[in-house]
A and B are shown apart, each in its own frame.
Chain A
Amino acid sequence: MTDQTMTPEERAASLEGMGCRRKRVEDVRFTQGKGNYVDDVKLPGMLFGAFVRSPYAHARVKSIDAEAAKALPGVVAVLTAADLAPLGLHWMPTLAGDKQMVLADGKVLFQGQEVAFVVAEDRYLAADAVELVEVEYEELPVVTDPFKALEPDAPVLREDIKDQKEGAHGPRRHHNHIFTWEQGDRDATEKVLAEADVTVEEMIHYHRTHPCPLETCGCVASMDKATGKLTVWGTFQAPHAIRTVVSLISGIAEHNIRIISPDIGGGFGNKVGAYPGYVCSVVASIVTGRPVKWIENRMENLMSTAFARDYWMKGRIAATKDGRITGLWCHVTADHGGFDACADPTKFPAGFFNICTGSYDIPTAYLCVDGVYTNKAPGGVAYRCSFRVTEAAYFIERMVELLAIELNMDAAELRRINFIRKEQFPYASALGWEYDSGDYHTAWDKALKAVDYEGLRREQARRIEDFKAGRTRKLLGIGLSHFTEIVGAGPVKNCDILGLGMFDSCEIRIHPTGSAIARLGTISQGQGHATTFAQILASELGIPASDITVEEGDTDTAPYGLGTYGSRSTPVAGAATAMAARKIRAKAQMIAAWLLEVHDDDLEWDVDRFVVKGAPERFKTMKEIAFAAYNQAIPGLEPGLEAVSYYDPPNMTYPFGAYVCVMEIDVDTGEWKVRQFYALDDCGTRINPMIIEGQVHGGLTEALAIAMGQEIAYDEMGNVKTGTLMDFFIPTAWETPNYVTDHTVTPSPHHPIGAKGVGESPNVGGVPAFSNAVHDAFRAFGLRQAHMPHDHWRIWRIAENLGLHG
């Protein structure tokens, strides 16, 4: 069949554009072990770096003796803060406006903190040398509880800023206080709470955890002394921003720095920040004149780079007798660890936590977040969520459940009567966001029907009877969650990181034969950008997706962009892709008009060609137009067919979803089993349903991990108790359930293709669904709130405290 005989539908299908379950182009390499991850990078003369780390959570560093390490054959250098200080690199700025020690400068503030950097000929020698570095410490009192950290006589953690009354986000009121961030109307909210028929108050803890991608962080830094050019390969979710940061802190001109993110083995927020390992590798390469590789091991990864959550959320919710929510109040004590290294847009020290009114039409609300230093690792990254959105979703989805208990109402019904209605969009929330679009009732009803919600409740009632009669020891939990995400950061007017506006970009070049290359400012870590961005282009340009190469991650070739995290690739770079394609199409239309000797306006676009209106036999395909762009002298037009777009989104996007989890719980052992999980996601226009489903499966499994066992736990001395994959829970195939995925489609009105982004929704909505299932199982026995993670022991404790063990 030629394109002369194909129908428009057949032509469209052959492009493998948007909506198609296109197989991933990445997989031919990955399934054969031919990926190129940072640890696969091998350069001539390459050295290996490794850290000496603090065994203490809070201690003064009295002395460092590296002589024995330096004397070991094969050891090339040992760097300490004293070596970095003359370069001004012993501290570095954090993304949150604070600063962080690169190597311990006089003291350490968390277990695992970087104290010295050893550089040796191979990784075994580097490990040997680490053992030979003698560090003398003087232990200091440790604070791991953020409430205790704010007591008047709490030890001073950050001596460097102890007298500083003003922080990056306003006044500091205590030596361990970082910031206070307030949103909404405090007085009005207090008034609503005082006058309400019903109020509920509860402390909700979202524990500290870690993104733990299967590949840890690492880099290879190579300073070419002959050209003065520094190249760094690394696990960077934001390569362009890293280039700017490296330039600003090292003084190397930005054009002399090339950052390359090769294949990345999962990120989930872990690889957004700048870590001491990157700085030390760069310095070591400059000092030694040789490439230096640094790859963290798993324990280092869990202990030092990028924790997530750790929010103590005190909530108060007000409602009428019949269940209309009238107000929401929230105070968060946010444990940021020893340095404030949260990866949030500058003006949002608690990220977008002010999305905590969720999917509900709550007229009055107030939020206050206090950031606190403790002797824990710095980080505070968005672990598979937009900035602090998963904390917000968990908070509101627990508060609604608690309100349902108080009102003795069904939790599904309570949600339904409070949802923002379809006709209220665009909806201005009490805490300052403008939700772009949504149809929550339709999604909710579809979800409840799909799982036969009424039937499940009847089964649960029978189960409770059987339990009370001694016929079973298993309870049934029905976990509900309706979440609203806020992703696609974001509009440059209020979103920046280190002063860099959070736009994103795409550059397209159409080759003379009609194939193309597109380069973006983002970087895939498994999301399949090479596949999906080609699909957007295929639909916009009429070029088969298989004829389009998508490249990201090399700052020398890709246009500037802020990278991939916070589900921003599709909302921002995806929009840039469509906009750049439309610039190409506009020029293509002029070329076609000239070739067909008609006016531009006499043409219309038809899948992969411009057709003369009313004369379907007269057309020029994109392929023909591309060739003409390079071989015809067209009056008034430059040769070539290229475009670039830097897209500054007018608003965030607001994906949403309705999840139901059915869980069996053994009262005597605390064991749980997910019997059924239904996930309905509305991410607007769907680019590749296969990839969306894969994202949902993966995000739900990370949510399962977080809700049911995954935790970065510390003892009172500040020792990390969960520093290996033995203790840090990652579900295997054995405990992971099968998920049923579903969708509705409510396009974003302001996005060029209507897409909203999906990668993080399942984590945001999944955690409350799993946790609510546990709570729901015990609701009939009086459980209000039990802190996550719900591991077997903690579930057993719930049953024990409720007196269910007889």
Chain B
Amino acid sequence: MSKMHVKLKVNGRQVEGLAEPRMLLVHFLREELGITGPHIGCETSHCGACTVDMDGRSVKSCTVFVAQANGAEIVTVEGLTNPDGSLGVIQEKFREHHGLQCGFCTPGMITRAHRLLQENPNPTEEEVRFGIAGNLCRCTGYQNIVKAIMAAAAELNAAKEAAQ
């Protein structure tokens, strides 16, 4: 199958490559770029393990062709680590509140939480639960994930206030 040239920004870095038009974004990230944070749990857009941020929206990268992402700006869980290599706020809160077990849903969950808190910096517990309902976790029962996201919201808001 003939390949097409794609160019996109991933975690702040400009990348390009050749891909079949049918290639899924998740495979391009994982196999062509070696960005293995986004995981594959279903390939049918139900589980959310492959969630990435695309131009400021959460998308399931198993349901987006890389061709559709041409020119887009993508953020994966790898891009949420602080520049000095320390854990970003949401990552740290997941660790602190035991918001993960096997870790397979975690990259998608954290990436989704990152976008959720941009959309709604002050969510109620209900809003968090609704906001991450597109991401399945088989291990944690969500209780500590919700706690972690609420704690991250509080910390991010406090930091914002302090900066003002």
For residue B84, give the distance in angstroms from its CB to the closest CB of chain A: 13
Q: Does the CB pair A297–B47 fall under 8 Å?
A: no
Q: Does the CB pair B143–A732 fall under 8 Å?
A: no
Task: Find the residue from A29, A123, A264, A725 having the highest chain B CB count within 10 A.
Answer: A725
Q: Does the CB pair B136–A214 fall under 8 Å?
A: yes
Q: Does the CB pair A214–B105 fall under 8 Å?
A: yes
Q: Does the CB pair A726–B101 fall under 8 Å?
A: no
Given A733-B142, A733-B146, do A28 and B98 touch, yes or no (CB 8 Å)?
A: no
Judge whether B59 is part of the interface by a CB distance below 8 angstroms.
no
Judge whether A213 is part of the interface by a CB distance below 8 angstroms.
yes
0/1 interface trace, chain A 673-711, chain B, CB 8 Å (1 if under): 000000000000000001101110111111000000000
Q: Which of B36, B91, B133 contacts A40 (CB 8 A)?
A: B36
Q: Does the CB pair B77–A297 fall under 8 Å?
A: no
Residues in B with CB closer than 8 Å to A724 are: 42, 44, 46
Q: Does the CB pair B141–A736 fall under 8 Å?
A: yes
Q: Does the CB pair B145–A265 fall under 8 Å?
A: no
Given A28-B95, A32-B78, A33-B76, do A698 and B140 touch, yes or no (CB 8 Å)?
A: yes
Q: Does the CB pair B37–A32 fall under 8 Å?
A: yes
Q: Which of A26, A34, A37 contacts B39 (CB 8 A)?
A: A37
Residues in B with CB closer than 8 Å to A527 are: 101
Residues in A with CB closer than 8 Å to B130 are: 733-734
Interface of chain A residues 21 through 47 with chain B (CB within 8 A): 23-24, 26-35, 37, 39-40, 42
Q: Does the CB pair B36–A214 fall under 8 Å?
A: no
Residues in A with CB closer than 8 Å to B128 are: 733
Binding-face segment, B20-28, B65-73, B156-164: B20-28
Given A264-B102, A690-B98, A698-B101, do A736 and B91 touch, yes or no (CB 8 Å)?
A: no
The docked-state distance in angstroms from the alpha carbon of A690 to that of B92 is 16
Q: Does the CB pair B42–A725 fall under 8 Å?
A: yes
For residue A657, give the distance in angstroms from its CB to the closest CB of chain B: 16
For chain B, the count of residues having a C-beta within 8 Å of the partner chain is: 59
Task: Find the residue from A24, A31, A42, A700 having the highest chain B CB count within 10 A.
Answer: A31
Q: Does the CB pair A738–B143 fall under 8 Å?
A: yes
The docked-state distance in angstroms from the alpha carbon of A788 to that of B98 is 32
0/1 interface trace, chain A 197-221, chain B, CB 8 Å (1 if under): 0000000000000001111100000
0/1 interface trace, chain B 29-45, chain A, CB 8 Å (1 if under): 01100111111111110
Residues in B with CB closer than 8 Å to A732 are: 129, 132-136, 142
Judge whether A266 is part of the interface by a CB distance below 8 angstroms.
yes
The docked-state distance in angstroms from the alpha carbon of A448 to that of B100 is 31
Residues in B with CB closer than 8 Å to A265 are: 39, 41, 102-104
Q: Does the CB pair B146–A214 fall under 8 Å?
A: no
Q: Does the CB pair B138–A214 fall under 8 Å?
A: yes
Q: Does the CB pair A39–B40 fall under 8 Å?
A: yes
Judge whether A739 is part of the interface by a CB distance below 8 angstroms.
yes
Q: Does the CB pair B94–A32 fall under 8 Å?
A: no
For residue A699, give the distance in angstroms from its CB to the closest CB of chain B: 8
Residues in A with CB closer than 8 Å to B107 are: 33
Q: Does the CB pair B87–A28 fall under 8 Å?
A: yes
Q: Which of B40, B77, B140 contacts A32 (CB 8 A)?
A: B77
The docked-state distance in angstroms from the alpha carbon of A736 to that of B126 is 11
Residues in B with CB closer than 8 Å to A526 are: 101-104, 139
Residues in A with CB closer than 8 Å to B38 are: 33
Given A23-B95, A214-B47, do A701 and B142 touch, yes or no (CB 8 Å)?
A: yes
Q: Does the CB pair B31–A725 fall under 8 Å?
A: no
Judge whether B150 is part of the interface by a CB distance below 8 angstroms.
no
**CB-CB nearest in chain A for B79:** A33
12 new A-B contacts, CB < 8 A, other than A33-B77, A124-B20, are A23-B95, A31-B91, A32-B81, A33-B37, A37-B104, A39-B30, A214-B39, A214-B104, A297-B43, A724-B46, A732-B136, A733-B132
What 9 A-B pairs have minimum CB-CB distances, sorted nearest first? A33-B37, A526-B102, A265-B104, A30-B103, A697-B141, A526-B101, A701-B141, A725-B46, A31-B91
Between-chain CB contacts (< 8 Å), 16 pairs: A24-B95, A30-B100, A30-B103, A31-B95, A32-B80, A124-B20, A528-B101, A690-B98, A697-B144, A699-B141, A701-B140, A701-B142, A725-B42, A725-B136, A733-B137, A734-B130
